[in-house]
Structure 1
């Protein structure tokens, strides 16, 4: 599905307008995504509880088609997150737009994940108990890397994408359940499993179970991640987008223009941000 926004024109916009009209929008289906269409999208998103951004993406299209959207991120959570973090709602919306994968779930209903074989290697090599021998653990990880390099490897890679990542995870769990769950990133915001305890979850299993529930749980993990990093939170409060992007996306953030995307998204949301408290 195409992502439609202000300024777009064409048959897809006309179809969007017609579907909005079925919900009482009263638009002229002229195929021009102007102010009236954006307002109608916002009104519809507000009515069904979706993030109120005026952008007709996959989630809005699914809702208009009558799909069950109960597991999708709700706008009220963004409002409460802004208050909880002490930042502008437009800043939270910008981060949600740029840093999420758009959706936290695959078409089969499973959460989006990415299994990181180099993290699996690291976790297997890490002593956890007083009696653990680091040399022995590393030797065992090295043996597994030779036998199953797609699952255990000192170097990143081996990605299969989509539902195939769940098969990789399932195979890795046969090697070591704890390390495997820790070695996957989860949900729309791709929070790594090894952060689970630091972020206040009872266990990595508890974390994984919650990531499989809905996007609101995935967003909660994202908020906890920001709260647990004072530098990241300070950058968000100050709208220092380069610093935020570096902290969240890593030192190569500029290669993908994350800071520029965050700045532009913030400006757009700041200009058109609804007042959710009155919604």
Structure 2
């Protein structure tokens, strides 16, 4: 796993990063001192801008791969974030903060599949939900309970059963054997982990259209995020006003405080704003 490097880090990995940045043409050339300070962050941002990556000053897996010569065309670009900030009327630094904290900087797995998380408790709810006029609610509930008994790792009233990484795609594939559409609706997709069941609310032509787009590139992941913000006035207002606790609660649910999402978002915003990423609404 690639070690994410950022301002304040020290050590051999930072020295290696500084050497790579110098080889990539950092101006002025960095002193290789193993200290990720202001000059190194500035050089990282300059390199990211040159190759079209998100200009956040953080040397994560994408930036380090680009320094090693990897193709960046499918990755989220700074231009895409800038356009999204303008579309939402939100400071660019706030968008940087959400991208950093919520996406962990990565939308795809090493095998090329989009990052997902399959939610078995959502699968349970979706199976029990009536879809059409005349649906037998009791029968749907009975069916959901029957599947929960037979396949508790895939259908369950309670969250859990996570494997992570490629294992989540295995869980999704198994759940699709039970009900393909309900399974796809029960996974969160891409860098910003948008739940599949939001597809219609977000204006996609179909569930298949949403899923196909999540397989394309990180720009499509960000598009889903922008649509998600646009579709929720309270969430949009919280992001625009940088009300981080409110935003984290609406975006992540009531457990946000346990994971310090609001604190992480506020700190990330302050760091990016200090670098001048303050596009006005």
TM range (shorter): over 0.9
Does the 8 Å CA contact 1:71/1:214 hold for their aligned counterparts? yes
Task: For structure 2, list consecutive stretches of 5 or more residues without a partner in the other structure.
Answer: none
Which of 63-72 and 40-49 deviates more? 63-72
Which residue among 209, 212, 218 is the counterpart of 1:215?
A: 218
Using the alignment, how far apart are the partners of 1:135 and 1:87 within structure 2?
45
For 1:16, the equivalent position in structure 2 comes to 17
Superposition TM-score, scaled by structure 1 size: 0.95
Question: Helix, strand or coil for the counterpart of 1:252?
Answer: helix
Which ranges of 4 or more aligned residues in structure 1 deviate by more than 4 Å?
none
Does the 8 Å CA contact 1:98/1:262 hold for their aligned counterparts? yes
Q: CA deviation at 1:219?
A: 0.9
For 1:126, the equivalent position in structure 2 comes to 129
Using the alignment, how far apart are the partners of 1:124 and 1:35 within structure 2?
52
For 2:96, the equivalent position in structure 1 comes to 93
Using the alignment, how far apart are the partners of 1:153 and 1:252 within structure 2?
20
Does the alignment pair 1:76 with 2:89? no
Which residue among 185, 193, 199 is the counterpart of 2:202?
A: 199
For 1:116, the equivalent position in structure 2 comes to 119
Using the alignment, how far apart are the partners of 1:244 and 1:215 within structure 2?
22
Q: CA deviation at 1:274?
A: 5.1
Task: For structure 1, list consecutive stretches of 5 or more residues without a partner in the other structure.
Answer: none
For 1:5, the equivalent position in structure 2 comes to 6
Does the 8 Å CA contact 2:92/2:277 hold for their aligned counterparts? no
Q: CA deviation at 1:8?
A: 2.0
Using the alignment, how far apart are the partners of 1:220 and 1:244 within structure 2?
18
Q: CA deviation at 1:67?
A: 1.4
Q: CA deviation at 1:12?
A: 1.0
Using the alignment, how far apart are the partners of 2:162 and 2:36 within structure 1?
38
Does the 8 Å CA contact 2:45/2:57 hold for their aligned counterparts? yes
Does the 8 Å CA contact 1:53/1:273 hold for their aligned counterparts? no
1:78-122 per-position Cα deviation (integer Å, ceiling 9, x unaligned): 101111011111111111111113211111111111111111111
Does the alignment pair 1:140 with 2:140? no
Question: Helix, strand or coil for the counterpart of 1:260?
Answer: helix
Using the alignment, how far apart are the partners of 1:160 and 1:259 within structure 2?
26
Using the alignment, how far apart are the partners of 1:9 and 1:90 within structure 2?
25
Question: Helix, strand or coil for the counterpart of 2:173?
Answer: helix
For 2:163, the equivalent position in structure 1 comes to 160
Residues 192 and 275 (structure 1 numbering): CA distance in 2 closer, same or farther, change over 3 Å? closer
Using the alignment, how far apart are the partners of 1:262 and 1:77 within structure 2?
20
Q: CA deviation at 1:161?
A: 1.4
For 1:255, the equivalent position in structure 2 comes to 258
Q: CA deviation at 1:2?
A: 1.6
Superposition TM-score, scaled by structure 2 size: 0.95
Does the alignment pair 1:189 with 2:192? yes
Calculate the aligned-residue CA RMSD, in Å: 1.3
